[in-house]
Amino acid sequence: MKIEDKHIDLWSKIGSRATFGMSLLEIQKEFQKLQIVTSDVSTSAGLDRFRKTYPEKFTDVGISEQNLIGVATGLSEVGFDVITTTFSPFQVLRCCEQIKNNLGYMKSKVTMVGLASGLVLGTLGFTHASIEEIGAIRSIPNINIISPADSLETVKSVYASLKQNKSTYIRLTGGQPNPKVYNQDYNFEIGKAIKLRNGEEIAVIVCGARVKDSLDARDKLFENYKKNISIYNFHTIKPIDEKMILKISKKYKYIVTIEEHNIIGGLGSAVAEVLSSVKENKSKLIKLGVKDTYPPGGEYSYLIKLLNLDSGSLYKQFKKILNI
Amino acid sequence: MKSFNKKNISKFAKNLRKNILKMSLSAGAASSHFGGALSCIDIIAVLFNNVINFNSKNFKKQSRDRFILSKGHACLSLYSVLKEIDIISEKEILTFEKSNSFLLGHPVKNFDKGIELSTGSLGMGLSISMGIALGLKKNKLKSKVYTIIGDGECNEGAIWEVALSAPKFNLNNFCVIIDRNNFQQTGLGTEILNLNPLKDKWKSFNWDVIEIDGHDYLDIFNSLIKPSTKPKIIIAKTIKGKGFSFSENNNDWHHKVLTKNQYEEGIRELDQ
């Protein structure tokens, strides 16, 4: 898939949700058997144009998520490349047993895109914000989990998921605009973490919209103290890049995981599981995220700050760890 | 035109019941869902004897009709018919519920053995069936989807999501049969969660509804071949445990061990 720089700018402006729907207009050219199945969210997923242009490739089952996964499974069984989408809590938890039986146990292949996950819908409350679903889906065998760092990585995740043969859950985070982590096209592979900055003492393992804030905090640290720390974009939470974690555990004093998710069950847990089996682990793990609680609701920027996950708070925490 | 031959169906149904007896006996202490398999076995007998385009020669082809047993606990009926149409062997059915067998107490998807889906978590098979019916139409195939659900299974909300949704897609290739045996695991449906008026419910969801005697071969045959412009649902009034005096309408046989004596009695009753 050819990606032009002007698209990257546009996608960043419109955010990951709208990017997802818009990019499918391009992606469908390469996948003749593509089917998009939704639960009454076409406009929320930027799919309105797709729905009108390719009605034969678009199925709306209404607000019924159990049926969403069932119908998607059936379409997959007769040879279609199927993408489902709705808001993250409904895409995963509402139909979790269908995901288990159909995609996990029976291995039917469906790509699920969870919209507006993490904290971006905080003003709507925690019926709609989503901080648990990675934990639920991570315990189901045979399903990949990707949390793209920006809008470009969203497109690359959808494309890569369609190109391989396992079911995948793609967790969209971040608002609109969705600041760029990548200014140009790059090599993306499911399960392969990407080192974005090289440094010492601290390795930050981060996913989703928190990548950009981690980079900003790191750059400020460098600017003010000439101190370099490493930032790793762990876009794939499952299969987790064990090799990279092992490598990191040998090199750094501290590993800091950062995510818009409960610290139980998410990226931090996945990293901890790998570290627990490392024989001589020299690094200390610090897990940043939602600390197993439902915070008060509120605007995205408010919540991110409240939970100490914004670039300013991360900067302070990095400083504290380094005793600066 | 599909033809109806009562004598052939009767013989076929008898063999299916014999297979069920054999598997139940062979399962031993593992126990089996005996009653719910027998309530839908006459429907399966007619479906596979005369109606469905699914056989040992075409069962791997995309153009085949699909049979989905959404009430997966009744899998004795599925394995029994797959044996009778020569897709699985006598030796294989006797591994039922044994360790490492591919024939467990709920069907496990197995393309090479004619098992379309892993079903048994109630309500889920119907939804996948609808997706398959939709996909077959999108693929411009004439294949049909025949799905058996239980009346107990209709307690599940997921069933009603499909009820609401399927008519939107004009799925005239989708035929659902409700095995209306009136019982569910712990007793009478009317006492646990009353579905009545069941026919009116499906009618109001805009399905083509047919009510039949689920043990009358001609009734079953006519309802299965009746053309429809909408998704079709056949409410088949059945008897749980049908075919053996000891199990008919006796809900103890929902999930029970078959003894050697009962097996022999069953064989005697079939041969009478």
Which has the closest alpha carbon to B226: B185, B177, B169? Answer: B177
The Cα-based distances of B206 to A61, A83, B31 in angstroms read: 16, 28, 39
Which chain A residues touch B128 with a CB distance below 8 Å?
70-71, 73-74, 77, 102
Largest CA distance in chain A: 60
Which pLDDT value is given to residue A109? 98
Of B117, B131, B157, the CB nearest to A71: B131
Write the secondary structure of B186-241 as one string of H (helix), E (strand) and C (coil): CEEHHHHCCCCCHHHHHHHCCCEEEEEECCCHHHHHHHHHCCCCCCEEEEEECCCC
Which has the closest alpha carbon to B224: B68, B12, B42, B47? Answer: B47
| Strand arrangement, sheet containing A284-290 | A194-197, A230-233, A202-206, A254-262, A284-290
Which chain A residues touch B67 with a CB distance below 8 Å?
none
Task: In whole angstroms, give the CA distance from residue A152 to residue A16.
Answer: 8
Residue spans in chain A of domains classed CATH 3.40.50.970: 5-171
Q: Is the pTM of this model over 0.95?
A: yes
Which chain A residues touch B157 with a CB distance below 8 Å?
66
Q: Is B134 on the interface with A (CB under 8 A)?
A: yes
Helix (H) or strand (E) holding A169, with range, is strand A167-171
Three-state SS at A254 = strand
Write the CB contacts of B103 (distance below 8 Å, at least 6 apart in sequence): B23, B75, B79, B88, B92, B93, B95, B96, B97
Shortest Cα distance, chain B CAs vs residue A28, angstroms: 16
Whether residue A74 and residue B126 make contact (CB cut-off 8 A), yes or no, is no
Shortest Cα distance, chain B CAs vs residue A90, angstroms: 14
Both tokens of residue A71?
């119908």
The sign of the dihedral angle between the CA atoms of A266, A269, A273, A275 is: positive
Of B109, B139, B162, the CB nearest to A78: B139
Residue in chain A closest to B138 (alpha carbons) equals: A56
Whether residue A74 and residue B109 make contact (CB cut-off 8 A), yes or no, is no
Shortest Cα distance, chain B CAs vs residue A62, angstroms: 8
Write the secondary structure of A63-114 as one string of H (helix), E (strand) and C (coil): CCHHHHHHHHHHHHHCCCEEEEEEEHHHHHCCCHHHHHHHHHHCCCCEEEEE
Task: In whole angstroms, give the CA distance from residue A136 to residue A139.
Answer: 6
Q: Pick left, alpha or beta for residue A323 (phi over 0 → left; psi -120 to 50 → alpha; otherwise beta).
A: left
The Cα-based distances of A256 to A83, A91, A200, A201, A228 in angstroms read: 33, 29, 13, 11, 14
CATH number assigned to the domain with residue range A5-171, chosen from the 4 options 1.10.730.10, 3.40.50.970, 3.30.70.360, 3.20.20.370: 3.40.50.970
Which chain B residues touch A80 with a CB distance below 8 Å?
135, 138
CATH number assigned to the domain with residue range A194-321, chosen from the 4 options 3.30.380.10, 3.20.20.140, 3.40.50.920, 2.102.10.10: 3.40.50.920
Whether residue B118 and residue A106 make contact (CB cut-off 8 A), yes or no, is yes
Whether residue A71 and residue B126 make contact (CB cut-off 8 A), yes or no, is no
Whether residue A78 and residue B164 make contact (CB cut-off 8 A), yes or no, is no
CATH hierarchy code of domain B6-271: 3.40.50.970
Q: Is A142 on the interface with B (CB under 8 A)?
A: no
Q: Residue B175's beta-bridge partner residues?
A: B146, B232
Shortest Cα distance, chain B CAs vs residue A85, angstroms: 16
Both tokens of residue A218?
């790191």
Radius of gyration of chain B (CA): 17
Shortest Cα distance, chain A CAs vs residue B47, angstroms: 21
Which has the closest alpha carbon to A112: A139, A81, A141? Answer: A81
Both tokens of residue A241?
């890049």
Whether residue A70 and residue B139 make contact (CB cut-off 8 A), yes or no, is no
Q: Is B115 on the interface with A (CB under 8 A)?
A: no
- Residues 69 through 98 of chain A touching chain B, CB cutoff 8 Å: 69-80, 97-98
Three-state SS at B183 = strand
Task: In whole angstroms, give the CA distance from residue B256 to residue B262.
Answer: 12
What's the burial of A288, exposed, middle or buried (CB within 10 Å: 0-12/13-18/19+)?
A: buried
Strand ranges in chain B using DSSP code E only, listed in sequence order: 66-69, 145-150, 174-180, 183-184, 187-188, 208-213, 232-237
Give every residue of chain B whose pLDDT is below 70, as ranges.
1
How do residues A200-242 score in pLDDT, each as one tens digit? 999 999 999 999 999 999 999 999 999 999 999 999 999 999 9
Interface predicted TM-score (ipTM) of this complex, two decimals? 0.96
Give every residue of chain A whose pLDDT is below 50, as ranges.
none
Residue in chain B closest to A64 (alpha carbons) equals: B161
Of B109, B116, B158, the CB nearest to A67: B158
Other Cβ atoms within 10 Å of B30 Cβ, number: 14
Q: Pick left, alpha or beta for residue B170 (phi over 0 → left; psi -120 to 50 → alpha; otherwise beta).
A: left
- The domain segmentation of chain B, as residue ranges, is 6-271
Both tokens of residue A3?
């990606």
Write the CB contacts of B151 (distance below 8 Å, at least 6 apart in sequence): B178, B179, B180, B181, B182, B184, B189, B195, B198
- Residues 145 through 184 of chain A touching chain B, CB cutoff 8 Å: none
Q: Is B110 on the interface with A (CB under 8 A)?
A: no
Both tokens of residue A165?
């043969």
Whether residue B118 and residue A105 make contact (CB cut-off 8 A), yes or no, is yes
Which chain A residues touch B109 with a CB distance below 8 Å?
106-107
Of A66, A79, A101, the CB nearest to B161: A66
Shortest Cα distance, chain B CAs vs residue A70, angstroms: 4
Task: In whole angstroms, give the CA distance from residue B160 to residue A67.
Answer: 9
Which chain A residues touch B131 with a CB distance below 8 Å?
70-77
Helix (H) or strand (E) holding A285, with range, is strand A284-290
How do residues B138-171 score in pLDDT, each as one tens digit? 999 999 999 999 999 999 999 999 999 999 999 9
What's the burial of B204, exposed, middle or buried (CB within 10 Å: 0-12/13-18/19+)?
A: exposed
Helix (H) or strand (E) holding A15, with range, is helix A5-30
Per-residue DSSP letters for A113-158? EEET-BTTTGGG-TTTSBSSHHHHHHTSTTEEEE--SSHHHHHHHH
Shortest Cα distance, chain B CAs vs residue A169, angstroms: 19
Which of A71, A75, A98, A99 is the mutation pick for testing B, counting most B CBs within 10 A? A71
Q: Is B159 on the interface with A (CB under 8 A)?
A: no
